[in-house]
Structure 1
C-alpha cells in the first residue's frame, strides 16, 4: 500500500473497556487504523495532540466531560476532524445540534455504525489527491 492509500486514523473513546473492545473489533474489520484508545476526555485530548486523528468515535456519557464537550475540544484543535458520538440515550437531536458532532450512532447498532464508517471512508477517499 502506497502513501496515497493511507488509512483513516481513528481515535476511540469510551469509559467502558468492553465497549472499547467492541468498537475496536468493528473498526479493525473496516481496515481503518486505530491510532489511539482512551477511557476519558482528558486522556483522549492528550492522545489526540500526539496522533492527530481523522476520526474520533466517542461515547456520549462519560464521567467528567460528555462526548459532545469532548468533540468540541477536538474540533477546536483540529477543525477537519470528523466526530462520531454514540449513545444508548435519546440524545441524537442535542448531539447533532451542538455543531461539533458530524454523526450520531445509537449504541449497540453495529449495522448503522458500519454504514457510517463506510460513508466516512468513501468521503475520505474522495478527498485524497
Structure 2
C-alpha cells in the first residue's frame, strides 16, 4: 500500500518493523496524524472495508485524553496503549503530531513493549529530521 503522508521509505520502515516484531500475527498497520491517516499494511485474509476514519479519530482523541488524564500520575508518562478485542489486539504508539496503530493476533506483553519502543524511536527520529 502506498502512503500519501509519508515517504515510501519511512512507510516501508514502519511496516518492516511491525512485521519483524510480530511475524504472521500482524493484521494491519496504520499511520495517523491529527487530521489524516494512511493504512500502510492490511493482511490479505482481512476485510478491506473497515471504517478507519472513525477508528483512527477515536484513537487520536484517546491519545490526547490519556496524556491529559495521567499527566500527574505516579505511574509516569503513558508510553503506549494495548487494547484487547474479541478477534485481536490493537497497539497505539503516538507522539504530539503523529502515531501508529497496529493490530495483531495475540502476542506477549514483552513483544508489545518491544515494538512500541521501536515505533516510538522511529516517530521521534522523524520529528528530529523535520526540526
Instruction: Give the TM-score, by structure 2 length.
Output: 0.29
Larger relative strand fraction: 2
Return the index of the structure with the highest Cα Rg.
2
Instruction: Give the TM-score, by structure 1 length.
Output: 0.29
